[in-house]
Amino acid sequence: MTSKIINMAERIKDKEDLALEALFRSDPVPDDGFTASVMAQVRRTIWVRRLSMPIAVAIGAAISAKPLIQAVTIVPGLLSSIFGSSVGFDRLPVDSLPQLSTMLIGATLLMAVIMGSRILED
Amino acid sequence: MTAVAGDDDFELVARVVARQDASAFGELVRRHQSHVRNFLRKLTRDYTLADDLAQDAFLHAWDKLHTFRGQGTFIGWLLKVAYTTFLQSKRKSNRYGNVLEAISHEPGGGAVEDSNEVSDLDRFLAVLTEEERAVMILSYACGLSHREIGEAADMPVGTVKSIIFRGKEKIRDIFDIEDHQYG
């Protein structure tokens, strides 16, 4: 009930209200391709979002593929070294371990690609 | 299912939120672009800047549409997004400041529209603060209720009413209401 009274009070217009309405009155703005332009940007945003993660994953995978394969191939040797001898750590094939720097670079690039795609999206 | 012009705003919003339906959002843009652009054009008095801001506002709306809870009208929510976009842009850019300064020093000289009525509007807008300007435009150009304006401009309804009261006092000072030609 109170809100109805308030709404009624808002609808009662005095001279200033009418003058202000006249002052602010304007014709509708024609579209003139505005909607199409907004929708083009929206669709671009959708595609960027859809593609950014797969691209980032693909790039990250490409960079980390080599050290990853090395890591996988070393596992049997590593396990046999550990379980074959109680003190076999000195015989580990350290040379074939994936290099830490390569992995760090790969991870950094992956982060950069993800962040870059977010910036592009914004 | 494609968006139909007859669907109401809430239905279109639901489609966008549930299915990222771009065609439904396109219908919302087509339906409300005039209101949003008019609001921003009156707020900035610069058509190019206003249309850029309107584009940004609709993109923000696309991102934030899931936050629309269906309380109040969709256009009220959209104008809130537009006003927020305007305020954010103003903080980032000096361009608006330059336009505002030009308007303040040359009432009616901006020539963004060419009728006498708009010259009056420029004179009126020039004496309002930015907050007053936004509230008066939302009320008299966009036709929002006091409650909707409060939500859009993030202020209590009492403040909205006092701003409108002050605006009316200013128009009384600037224009001779008795002689002013209105609808």
- pLDDT of B159: 92
- pLDDT of A16: 76
Mutate which: A5, A15, A24, vs B, most B CBs within 10 A: A24
What stretch of H or E contains B52? helix B47-64
- pLDDT of B182: 44
- pLDDT of A96: 56
What would the two tokens of residue B118 be? 């708009």
Residue B98's pLDDT band (boundaries 50, 70, 90)? low
pLDDT block averages, 10 residues each, chain A of length 122: 52 74 84 91 86 84 82 78 61 62 81 81 63
Amino acid (1-letter code) at residue A102: T
Q: What is the ipTM of this complex?
A: 0.71
Q: What is the mean pLDDT of chain B?
A: 80
Does the pLDDT of residue B150 top 80, yes or no? yes
- pLDDT of B129: 85
Least confident range from A35-49, B42-56, B110-124, B129-143: namely B110-124
Name the burial class of residue B152, with classes exposed (0-12), middle (13-18) and buried (19+) by CB atoms within 10 angstroms of its CB: buried
Per DSSP, A27 falls in state: P
* Mean pLDDT across B132-136: 90
What would the two tokens of residue A96 be? 């074939």
- pLDDT of A115: 83
For B26-46, give one letter per residue: b (16+ CB within 10 A) or e: bbbbbbbbbbbbbbbbbbbbb
For residue B116, give the chain A residue with the closest CA.
A23
> Looking at the complex, does the CB of residue A2 fall below 8 Å from at least one CB of chain B?
no
B4-19 pLDDT, tens per residue?
Answer: 566 788 999 998 888 8
Q: How far apart are CA B154 and CA B66, in angstroms?
A: 19
Residue B158's pLDDT band (boundaries 50, 70, 90)? very high
Name the burial class of residue B135, with classes exposed (0-12), middle (13-18) and buried (19+) by CB atoms within 10 angstroms of its CB: buried
B30-74 pLDDT, tens per residue?
Answer: 999 999 999 999 888 888 999 999 999 999 999 999 888 888 889
| Contact call for A20 and B168, based on CB within 8 A | yes
- pLDDT of A12: 67
- pLDDT of A39: 93
Q: All domains of chain B, ordered by start, with CATH?
A: 9-174 (1.20.140.160)
Could you write out the DSSP letters of every residue in B84-137? HHHHHHHHH-SHHHHHHHHHHHSTTTT-SS-SHHHHHHHHHHHTS-HHHHHHHI
pTM over 0.90: no
Query: Which residue of B25, B42, B171 is in closest CB contact with A19?
Result: B171
- pLDDT of B91: 80
Cα A20 to chain center, whole Å? Answer: 46
Q: How far is B98 from chain A (nearest CA, A)?
A: 23
Query: Which residue of B37, B58, B175 is in closest CB contact with A19?
Result: B175
